[in-house]
Amino acid sequence: MSADNLTRLKAYAALLTVVALGGFAAALTTHGLGRWDVLLVLAAVALAAEGRHMPVTKNLELAVTFIPIVLAAVLYGPAAGGVVGVAAMLGDRRGPLVRWVIYTASRAVGGLLAGTLALITAQAVGRASLLDVLAATMAAALGYVAIDVLSTFVVTQLRNLMSKRELWEQLRSAESLTMALYTPLTALYAYAYLGSGAIVLAFIAIPLLAAHLSYSQHIRQAQLIEQLQGSNAQLEEANRHLRHINLSFAAAMVRALDARDTWTADHSAAVAVYSRDIAVEIGLEPHEVELVHLTGLVHDIGKIGVSAEVLQKASALNDDEWAEMRRHSEIGAQILVEVEDYAEVARIVRSHHERYDGAGYPDGLAREEIPLLARVIAVADAYNAMTSDRPYRGAMSPETAIQQLLNGRDSQFQAELVDAFVAVLEREQQSYRLGKMVRFELESMKHVELRPPSPPAAPQAPAAAA
């Protein structure tokens, strides 16, 4: 905890203490304390109940002090509620002094407010019937719980333990359970005491035991839910790691293609850069720009399923060889669709050899049937293929390749995408036009999924207890 936070906690503790002392003095003067023997019994019960802590989370715990404190407040007013609230904390001196002061003053203020509201309600409706006593008890319970929740919120925020929303989610069900179950029990005790005297205090352990058991069941259920959420988080992390491994494996396969066909990997890097720049030129959203760059890097991954003889053949392919080569877009899609959340990447890879006029492969899609990013990659892919040396032909000049793109407007390619790419090429240097500015390794490092997975961290010895 920082020094500033500790200073604020001390200031809050001092404020609560002043409020508690002032309130107790006023209440004692105005309404008195009540029967000391009854308060002694309730104080002992509160002390025992406070000692039965039940953890809700690592930073939050509950104790069943509600019944004796609220009962004292209903029977004898604010001073009695405050005294029993303080008594509840006498046996709990865990942690720093400032913690004890805050919780003690909070219990006292809660008891004081509970007694004040009980008195106001009793003056308005009386205490003749069980319903009258129940109304007074409900008012006291609301006051006590309000102070408890408010103080817990303040302390949690000063210590930066959790957000307000997280704390409210944890407190809401526990406080609702307290109000629903124990307010009627406390009212019944108060009504029985008013009718039969102190003898009813002999049975106060029964509802306290029931309270403890119900709280325990509630807390156990909450802990099981928390464990399940933790398991779900671990499963999500495992899935993320698996996805990383799958895509790293995909990148490794592209690198393997580079070993078989030295043109493929750097071609993929160039296509990725060209596709990204076309996407920027036509004003696509940032996530689409990133997606087309990633897809460009893996668009030819299916060539891992094409024989080396076909990939490296120095002459024109025959019909069978051409059919094998054409399958690479389908093979690539089949590989990528197995990776979680990569269905769209797979769909783009499958369609990057479709033609705008419908004469492409593998599905004969046309115009808007072809995914937009596949249409982008088709332009970038064709240009880099034309400006690169192949086993069966030399590279075209950028000027000739650009003319071929222009000739293919609205037949092989979407016209607007060709125009956008030509505009990009005209602005760039010759090394860019020739695709000599990129390497697959460098481009792939821009995507976490394509980086080699980090080795698992070595287990560390647990820290020694202080």
pLDDT of residue 458: 47
Q: Which CATH number fits domain 3-203: 1.10.10.60, 1.10.1760.20, 3.40.140.80, 1.10.10.10?
A: 1.10.1760.20
pLDDT of residue 325: 84
Residue 377: name the closest of 287, 261, 292 by CA: 292
Q: Which amino acid is at 305?
A: G
Per-residue pLDDT of the chain (466 residues; tens, 9 = 90+): 567 778 888 888 899 899 999 998 999 888 888 888 888 888 888 887 765 555 545 544 555 688 888 989 999 999 998 998 888 888 666 678 888 888 889 989 999 999 999 999 999 998 888 899 999 999 999 999 899 888 888 888 887 777 777 777 777 766 776 777 778 888 888 888 887 776 766 666 555 555 555 555 655 665 676 667 666 666 666 555 555 555 555 566 665 655 555 555 578 888 888 999 999 999 999 889 988 988 888 888 888 777 777 777 777 778 888 888 888 888 888 888 777 677 888 899 999 999 999 999 899 999 999 999 999 999 999 998 888 877 667 788 989 999 999 999 999 999 999 999 999 999 888 888 887 766 555 565 565 555 554 544 444 443 333 3
Query: Biggest alpha carbon distance in the chain?
Result: 109
Same fold flag, 3-203 and 235-450:
no
- Angle at the Cα of 245 (from 239 to 251), degrees rounded to 5? 140
pLDDT of residue 225: 67
pLDDT of residue 18: 93
Domain locations in the chain as residue ranges: 3-203, 235-450
Alpha carbons 302 and 286: distance in angstroms, whole number: 27
Pairing of strands 60-62, 54-57: antiparallel
Residue with tokens 């019960």: 45
CATH 3.60.15.10 holds for 235-450: no
Tokens (6 digits) for 446: 């821009």
Does pTM top 0.85 for this prediction?
A: no
